[in-house]
Structure 1
Amino acid sequence: MQVVIDYLSESVLWPVTLLVIPPWSFVWWVAIGVTVWIVNRLRYPRCRDQSKMIGKTVIVTGGNKGIGLETARELVARGATVIIACRSLVRGNAAKDDILKKLKGNANGGTVEVSYLDVSCMASVRKFASAFQGRKIDVLLNNAAVADLPQQLTDEGLELTVATNHLGPFLLTHLLMPNLKKAGGRVINVSSTGHHWIKKASELDLEGDLKFEFSRPLRTLEIYVVSKLMNVFFTMELHRKLKGTGVTTNCLHPGVVNTDIFDPMVSHVWYGFFIRLYVWAYAKTKSEGAQTSILLAASDDLKNVSGKYFVDCKESSPSPLSQDEGIAKKLWEISERLVKLQPHERTI
């Protein structure tokens, strides 16, 4: 495979593009884009593990669209009961119908349930989790996320991006931990390679209750990448706290994926066009972006693996900052306070 990639990217198309077609030509840029697209289709790995999930129950937050939907689709095909947790029941039921329609003829296929969840609202998280009391959960995939939203506070006084990407999953994991312990289950947190961009603990705003009410203007995506670093901190601290329980936890970077998470960015007048070009040429398809989530949820070979960070279906290295246990513990304590974790909810 690598020989093919090298042949396409180095031996044939690039020389033709760069030497034969004038660089100021529109065709030149199209040729570059097509070359990159072809190379990436060959380069991005697929989950080769074929482990079945018959009889297992999986919760996928944000499973009605994007990589969440593609992950749900594959896990149902492997026999799992997948609960799509999302804000739009209309879209959730449409996703359910689509999955089941394409599943016809698969005798070992599972089924789909849809349940309302606004992961940015702690009251909604509590209501959602209460419906699963006593039910075994094999996998909790904290997949739902937002990016590049205007800085704002929720009705509960939490910064919206942080509430959606970190605090909601943090609380949901606590509330469902008894269910996960019944199954010796897995917690999977979808992070981002963007967490490497954060170099200093001060950027997490631990002293300001994660509200990012700085006097300076915030850079584009700043809160998003910080929240993705929080996902890694949460995973590593959760791993330490879960030792001996039979429950594992890992996090992942799905890659740059062509989903509607880019919609707020492409709407910007001056750089939206370039974001579209970048996404078209470099981004994975939704199915490609789901591969690492599928591997971590399904693979029998990974049932005892915990506290790791994965990229492109293999273990990778998270940022050095994310390995600071002191920061992880402090973030945990602040998160407990912000979600108003009650004594009976301290399940970890």
Structure 2
Amino acid sequence: MASNLDTLVTVFGGSGFLGRHVVRALAKRDYRIRVAVRRPELAFHLQPLGRVGQIHTVQANLRYPASVEAAMRDSAAAINLVGILAESGAQTFDAVQAEGAGAVARAAAGAGASMVHVSAIGADEQSASRYSRAKAAGEKAVKAALPSASIMRPSLVFGPEDQFTNRFAGLARISPALPLIGGGLTKLQPVYVGDVATAVADAVDGKAKPGAIYELGGPEVLTMREIMQIILEITDRERMLISLPFGLAKLQAAFLQFAPGAFKLTADQVELLRSDNVVSDVAKAAGLTLEGLGISPDSLEAIAPQYLWRFRPAGQFQRKNA
């Protein structure tokens, strides 16, 4: 069996939630990993994921193509994980998720490297959401620069460090009610971060179809209401679930976009919840899914109790409903 010890993979955005799991998956497969991030001093937590010298960080900013090209030097593959859910200063959706994705693809093409680009289900040039439009523009830019690039579109990604299940579990700890924007009827297909990381690593291994767009979802399609109920069940808390019409939610977002932590909400995030976020029938028929890669996805109910226990009133060993 050929070794990957001489193969260098550059991971853009490797210090984030999904990034640390992708780096771990690559390290287990013996790749040498260069993690390109805006602030390398905040990425030291990645070092224990591999052997001494296997993982190292470099400074790169997708808004500066020269830094992206430098990070790609001598790499055999590029992985772009950079994405944002809210804009801040120069970090806009277009700059990061559209133009930035194109910069990585052009650098990969120039280095003669392969590429895996992580986008999102719901990427659509005609979407009312600026986030979704930027994701679609990023895919288009990647395809234009490197047609053989593999694109991964995950649904809602959950896991130990996520900003979704942890956010609402934390909110339930301090609030008597949880909001259900649009009545909580939006359908999602939560996918475990470890499964997404495995799919990305498989693509680097060459197991994905070149130039294909994969849609990654978990084993269940759930509404927002059902997801909230699962979170409350796991954390053993009883909270009211209050329906919030889209119009009212958007009005509140005008103020909550400046709120800290779990209370932050933007108008674009409200817009995202108007559309279902599930794997399409087209992707299923073409085998462009986790199952098509030979990955059996884990469910929210199987994984979330392993890390949401800390939000229970008395901790990990509390007897449920005691």
TM-score with structure 1 setting the length: 0.51
**1:93 paired to 2:44:** yes
How far off its partner does 1:113 sit?
Answer: 1.1
- Distance, in Å, in 2 between the alignment partners of 1:235 and 1:131 is 17
Segments of structure 1 that go 5 or more residues without pairing to the other structure are 1-49, 105-109, 204-218, 241-247, 319-348
| Partner AA of 1:99 in structure 2 | L
Pick from 135, 138, 155 the counterpart of residue 255 of structure 1: 155
Match of residue 66 from structure 1: 17
Tell me the secondary structure at the aligned position of residue 187 of structure 1.
strand
| Partner AA of 2:9 in structure 1 | V
**1:55 paired to 2:6:** yes
- Distance, in Å, in 1 between the alignment partners of 2:76 and 2:19 is 17
Tell me the secondary structure at the aligned position of residue 101 of structure 2.
helix
Question: Share of identical aligned residues, percent?
Answer: 13
**1:233 paired to 2:140:** yes
| Partner AA of 2:46 in structure 1 | A
| Partner AA of 2:58 in structure 1 | S
Change (3 A) 1:128 1:257: same
**1:171 paired to 2:103:** yes
- Distance, in Å, in 1 between the alignment partners of 2:138 and 2:163 is 17
How far off its partner does 1:168 sit?
Answer: 1.3
Change (3 A) 1:282 1:233: closer
Match of residue 160 from structure 1: 92
**1:288 paired to 2:195:** yes
How far off its partner does 1:78 sit?
Answer: 0.9
1:140–1:187 CA contact under 8 A, matched in 2: yes
- Distance, in Å, in 2 between the alignment partners of 1:128 and 1:316 is 36
- For residues 1-348 of structure 1, the aligned pairs below 5 Å read 53-96=4-47, 98-100=48-50, 103=51, 111-119=54-62, 121-122=63-64, 125-130=65-70, 135-147=73-85, 149-150=86-87, 154=90, 160-179=92-111, 181=112, 185-195=113-123, 198=124, 200=126, 222-240=129-147, 248-258=148-158, 260=162, 262=164, 273-274=179-180, 283-299=190-206, 301-302=207-208, 305-312=209-216, 317=282
Change (3 A) 1:199 1:140: closer
- Distance, in Å, in 2 between the alignment partners of 1:91 and 1:153 is 20
Change (3 A) 1:232 1:316: farther
Superposed CA offset, 1:249-285 (max 9, x none): 110113311254659x96999x97558x99xx96333
1:59–1:85 CA contact under 8 A, matched in 2: yes
Determine which structure has greater relative contact order: mean sequence separation of CA pairs < 8 Å that are 6+ residues apart, divided by chain length.
1
Higher-strand-fraction structure: 2
How far off its partner does 1:235 sit?
Answer: 3.7
- Distance, in Å, in 2 between the alignment partners of 1:136 and 1:168 is 20
How far off its partner does 1:236 sit?
Answer: 3.4
Q: Cα RMSD over matched residues?
A: 3.9
Segments of structure 2 that go 5 or more residues without pairing to the other structure are 218-278, 284-322
Tell me the secondary structure at the aligned position of residue 307 of structure 1.
coil
1:143–1:189 CA contact under 8 A, matched in 2: yes
- Distance, in Å, in 2 between the alignment partners of 1:166 and 1:186 is 19
Change (3 A) 1:235 1:67: same
Higher-helix-fraction structure: 1
| Partner AA of 2:81 in structure 1 | N
How far off its partner does 1:85 sit?
Answer: 1.2
- Distance, in Å, in 2 between the alignment partners of 1:236 and 1:131 is 20
2:109–2:146 CA contact under 8 A, matched in 1: no
- Distance, in Å, in 1 between the alignment partners of 2:137 and 2:68 is 23
2:25–2:197 CA contact under 8 A, matched in 1: no
Change (3 A) 1:191 1:90: same
- Distance, in Å, in 1 between the alignment partners of 2:153 and 2:2 is 21
Match of residue 290 from structure 2: none
Change (3 A) 1:225 1:111: same
Change (3 A) 1:139 1:315: farther
Tell me the secondary structure at the aligned position of residue 134 of structure 2.
helix
